[in-house]
Copies of this chain bind each other. A is one copy, B any other.
Amino acid sequence: MSTVEQQLDELEATITDELPAGVSVTSVAYEGPELVVYTRDPKRFAQEDDLVRGLASRLRKRITVRPDPSVLSQPERAREEIMDVVPEEAGVTDLDFHADTGEVVIEAQKPGMVIGRGGATLREITKTVGWTPEVVRTPPIESSTVTNVRNFLKQEREERREILERVGRQIHREEMSDDEYVRITTLGCCREVGRASFILSTPETRVLVDCGDKPGAEGEVPYLQAPEALGAGPQNIDAVVLTHAHLDHSALIPLLFKYGYDGPIYTTEPTRDLMGLLTLDYLDVAAKEGRTPPYESAMVREAIKHTIPLEYGDVTDIAPDVKLTLHNAGHILGSSVAHFHVGDGLYNVAFTGDIHYGDTRLFDGAVNDFPRVETLVMESTYGGRNDYQTDQDDSERKLKRLIREAHEKGGKVLIPAFAVGRSQEIMLVIEEAMREGEIPSMPVHLDGMIWEATAIHTTYPEYLRDDLRSRIFHGEDNPFLADEFNHIESGEERQEVADGDPAIVLSTSGMMTGGPVMSWLELLGPDSDSTLLFVGYQAQGTLGRRIQNGRRDVAVGDGRDTVSVNMDVETVDGFSGHADRAGLENYVKTMSPRPEKVLCVHGDERSVQDLSSGLYHDHNVRTFAPKNLETFRFL
């Protein structure tokens, strides 16, 4: 008998002892980080909610109770009873019964009303039908990504359960080593922006944090072939943690599965969906540009299948000696700071991923409040000595003025924007300005993946800033559903817009390196009444940067045609998803306790050196500016 089986037998005995007489336990199993308890008395658990709470605190594990299949009521009947219990205003759109686990997934427009105050309605459901309810939100804007992911996971439910059981056994294995250390190996994004990737290792465990590409430097991928990474075999990695869905952190996550990895990916639910959206697009773009994509779309599905979603603040065992907690990073939807607690009080490491320190319209500022962090691995994108951003209020004023001016001339405003993050921030500014009459009301056309990314945002309002969240919760006030917003679906539609009245167009790609923004440039470029408005960083070598620098004759199509850009070209800074230099310093300065060591990564050479030296001198922490492929040992 393996030690895990023995452990489960002992747990079953303990649980049986702990529970009141007459509450049965038919079996216990690990599923990922959770301990699942099967019972013939699910209603008793629902009635006395102290039972689960008592077990969880006694066993120090996350516990899920499921009904033994023998006590389940018929789905047809259960469906009716559930609809009786749940208030009609909840807007239930789907009920999906899974007899193997006794779970019923309830999709509803207002999940809160299915849950009830303190979970009262959920308990009522179990008391009535025995099934364990799980609630998901019906996307307020239809999202093919969310629908596809949910359908796919439903279809792969059986294999997914096998994966979770395997991962569960892995997490709860016995520790093998008496040694104690924590190491970080840098596989990318050191003294450069892009290809974020790290290994966090202990004598027991090896965790890969992020696995991205490098924009503008195709082929410069993380050093996965190093023996510290997958070179020692994919089974050598226990877990993958993804901080957020941007491609410079996520693009090569599916590649891990092509290389034989079949362990878990821990990330937030919106990051999982956005990763699906962005990596599939990444493959499309590669194919369109005639490059061989590094993996097939099947690998994206593998990644989704192996994802174990975590909520902010959940402390989760991901290995015998490692607990992971994700915290809001304020950067994009679902973005996280990943905090690792190693051993029993031994050591703590946090990886910031990308952070925005202050609040934005979309998100609260990044969390930096941890019980302990000895070592912080910190992004440094704007870590340079002079990397101070314009105040967002000033930026918004300028944005509104430029829109007003274009409208007065009867022109259009074309805003190239990244689908995830910046687009939604700009949408909120525009929606408010129109609602409050600061700019005239006019159509705002969304082209490329912006619409879909926005739909994903509205599916997970829990991840948005509280005032925005509550507007989405009360569906009638969802700013993303404002009448002005229109999803462009065809080339003809673009032509109509171009020929029509004043309007705003937000279109990908954000640096004009391809995507529908190229068609918009062909249509609107010659119009001297219109404005081309940059709201994000334009990297060296991109068309966006060239136009910013004064280039006005631009090759379009397959490079055979040229368009003259007669539009006004304007730039509004200050909508970055990254903390500026002050924000990065404040993030560290306001931590309590202060970390002992900070590794400055994810910035160009100058930025990491400046930030490293600044934090050292002004805030008295030991700082490092690592190179790729170095290993630091703590303890």
Contacts and interface: CB of A to CB of B under 8 A. Distances in A.
A317 to B, nearest CB: 23
A500 interface: no
A48 B632 CA distance: 57
A631 interface: yes
A541 interface: no
A633 B630 contact: yes
Contacts of A633: 627-630
A628 B633 CA distance: 8
A233 interface: yes
A376 to B, nearest CB: 19
Nearest to A181: B629
Copies in the complex: 2
Given A227-B231, A227-B236, A630-B632, 17 more contacts: A181-B629, A183-B629, A183-B630, A206-B227, A227-B227, A227-B232, A228-B228, A228-B631, A231-B232, A231-B236, A232-B233, A233-B233, A627-B633, A628-B633, A629-B633, A630-B631, A631-B631
A630 B183 CA distance: 8
Contacts of A181: 629
Interface string A603-635: 000000000000000000000000111111100
- Across the A-B interface, the 7 shortest Cβ-Cβ residue pairs: A227-B232, A631-B631, A232-B232, A227-B227, A627-B633, A630-B633, A231-B232
A205 interface: no
25 contacts: A181-B629, A183-B629, A183-B630, A185-B631, A206-B227, A227-B227, A227-B228, A227-B231, A227-B232, A227-B236, A228-B228, A228-B631, A231-B232, A231-B236, A232-B232, A232-B233, A233-B233, A627-B633, A628-B633, A629-B631, A629-B633, A630-B631, A630-B632, A630-B633, A631-B631
A304 to B, nearest CB: 28
Nearest to A632: B630
A628 B181 CA distance: 10
Nearest to A628: B633
Interface size class of A (residues with CB under 8 A): 10 to 19
A488 to B, nearest CB: 42
Contacts of A231: 227, 232, 236
Contacts of A227: 206, 227-228, 231-232, 236
**A181, A183, A236, A633 pick with most chain B CB within 10 angstroms:** A633
Contacts of A632: 630
Interface string A207-250: 00000000000000000000110011100100000000000000
A632 B631 CA distance: 7
Interface string A192-211: 00000000000000100000
Contacts of A628: 633
Contacts of A627: 633
Contacts of A183: 629-630
A228 B181 CA distance: 16
Contacts of A629: 181, 183, 631, 633
**A185, A629, A631 pick with most chain B CB within 10 angstroms:** A631
A622 to B, nearest CB: 14
Contacts of A630: 183, 631-633
A206 B232 CA distance: 14
Contacts of A185: 631
A181 B626 CA distance: 14
Interface in A377-428: none
Contacts of A233: 232-233
Contacts of A232: 227, 231-233
A185 B201 CA distance: 15
A183 B185 CA distance: 12
Interface string A518-548: 0000000000000000000000000000000
Nearest to A199: B227
A188 to B, nearest CB: 13
A406 B206 CA distance: 62
A325 to B, nearest CB: 26
A629 B227 CA distance: 13
A89 B25 CA distance: 94
